[in-house]
Homo-oligomer: A and B are copies of this chain.
Amino acid sequence: MRQVAILGVGQTPVREHWDLPIRQLAVNAGRAAMEDAGVERVDGIFVGNMTSGLLNQQRHLGAVVADFLGQWGVEAVKLEAACGSAGSAMRQGIIAVASGEMDAVLVIGVEKMTEPQGKEITAALTTAADADYEIIHGVTFVGLNALIMRRYMHEYGYQHDDFAPFPINAHANGARNPYALFRKPITQQTYANGRIVADPITLFDASPIGDGAAALLLVPADKAPGAVRVIGSASATDTLAIHDRENPLWLKAAELSANRAYEQARIGPEDVDLFELHDAFSVMAALSLEACGFAARGAGVRLAQNGDILPHGRIPICTMGGLKARGHPVGATGLYQLAEAALQLRGDAGAAQIDGARIAMTQNIGGSGATIVTHILRKP
């Protein structure tokens, strides 16, 4: 298997892009990645997306994106694993290049969510969870995560206010990223005043939906000696329904995929300089940090309280805003994380730059942890 490098990075700002159809969002990001790489023709396109069939009345995104990118005849397909769709598209893109099957691959994550009515969006998001054993009881996707957060607080003795460092860090970092949806820092007081979405989750614990696309252009590493390298790539699953898990506070698929990726990269969590984790909800940030070995069980929140997750801390997270402030266009998020990690390692992260970053990790979560994809990147 060949090593894979990231030769091009492209993204659109996360916004309410009412003037851009979903295909154009994907094309804008894909075209930017191709121009960044100086590549005009690719061998394959892997598109990550979750909800376009329902929210945009358009499936078959592989073909439509290939078509409007002018990549006539190219192999193209869409991958879906709920909010883990883009990380999954990256996995297949990597395998296609690593295997020798393709020499230049475009991976694009895209989602356009803000046009339909709120109830349609809520219904679309519930399809990430178990329709027959969870959603049928009337719980929403936010509701499921609220149950996890409540249990976490009960089990480990935290108050709601203790989670504030996660969104405070995310919003502070998002303010330095021109592609972020929210660019305004928040305070402990803002957090405390957040209105409840699904108790105990408030507005500042829940990442916002958005429209956007992010893309990477992948090539064999030996063709691009100066480009960021992929040194770890792994995906794992857990039960879809949370009640089927031995411990609803442990992300087994995060542990599994992170350990596989560490092994491939021959590193441990102590070697990671920044971690773009999946802070769809504050509690998921804590659970990711714990499952990946950055904090003991129940100590993820304490890690944040100690300032270790800040840009100058031990393990900076959400360095360009995370899901909370950059925004969470669900099927695009995994590639926003990877694009940001690649820019950090290139030294192209602008005001959000983490000094001396050499190794970056990303983790994209589908559902409440049922699909988890972990990647590790290294500065060339």
A58: contacting residue among B58, B96, B131, CB under 8 A: B131
Let me know if A21 and B132 touch, CB within 8 A: yes
Let me know if B73 and A236 touch, CB within 8 A: yes
Q: Which residue of B lies closest to A136 (CB)?
A: B57
A54: contacting residue among B50, B54, B74, B81, CB under 8 A: B54
Task: Indicate whether A60 reaches chain B with its CB closer than 8 angstroms.
Answer: yes
Let me know if A135 and B63 touch, CB within 8 A: no
**How far is B59's CA from A331's CA once the two chains are assembled, in angstroms?**
12
Q: Which residue of B lies closest to A51 (CB)?
A: B53
**How far is B67's CA from A137's CA once the two chains are assembled, in angstroms?**
20
Q: How many whole Å from A202's CB to the nearest CB in chain B? A: 26
Contacts of A187 in B (CB 8 A): none
Let me know if B60 and A81 touch, CB within 8 A: yes
**How far is B46's CA from A91's CA once the two chains are assembled, in angstroms?**
12
Pick out which of these stretches binds chain B: A237-245, A296-304, A353-361: A237-245
Question: Which of A53, A54, A57, A96: most chain B CB closer than 10 A?
Answer: A53
Let me know if A131 and B74 touch, CB within 8 A: no
Contacts of A129 in B (CB 8 A): 60
Contacts of A61 in B (CB 8 A): 80
Task: Indicate whether A325 reaches chain B with its CB closer than 8 angstroms.
Answer: no
Q: How many whole Å from A185's CB to the nearest CB in chain B? A: 34
Let me know if B77 and A77 touch, CB within 8 A: no
Contacts of A366 in B (CB 8 A): 60, 63
Q: Which residue of B lies closest to A56 (CB)?
A: B131
Contacts of A1 in B (CB 8 A): 99-101
A131: contacting residue among B57, B99, B124, B370, CB under 8 A: B57
Contact mask A100-130 → B, CB, 8 Å, 1/0? 1100000000000000000000011011111
Q: How many whole Å from A33's CB to the nearest CB in chain B? A: 19
Task: Indicate whether A31 reaches chain B with its CB closer than 8 angstroms.
Answer: no
Q: How many whole Å from A253's CB to the nearest CB in chain B? A: 7
Task: Indicate whether A62 reaches chain B with its CB closer than 8 angstroms.
Answer: yes
A23: contacting residue among B57, B80, B132, CB under 8 A: B132
Task: Indicate whether A153 reaches chain B with its CB closer than 8 angstroms.
Answer: no
Contacts of A88 in B (CB 8 A): 62, 77
Contacts of A81 in B (CB 8 A): 60, 62-63, 76-78
**How far is B252's CA from A123's CA once the two chains are assembled, in angstroms?**
38
Task: Indicate whether A95 reaches chain B with its CB closer than 8 angstroms.
Answer: yes
Task: Indicate whether A82 reaches chain B with its CB closer than 8 angstroms.
Answer: yes
Task: Indicate whether A64 reaches chain B with its CB closer than 8 angstroms.
Answer: yes
Contact mask A215-251 → B, CB, 8 Å, 1/0? 0000000000000000000111111110010000000
Given A60-B366, A63-B240, A99-B99, 5 more contacts at CB 8 Å?
Answer: A60-B367, A63-B82, A67-B238, A74-B237, A99-B101
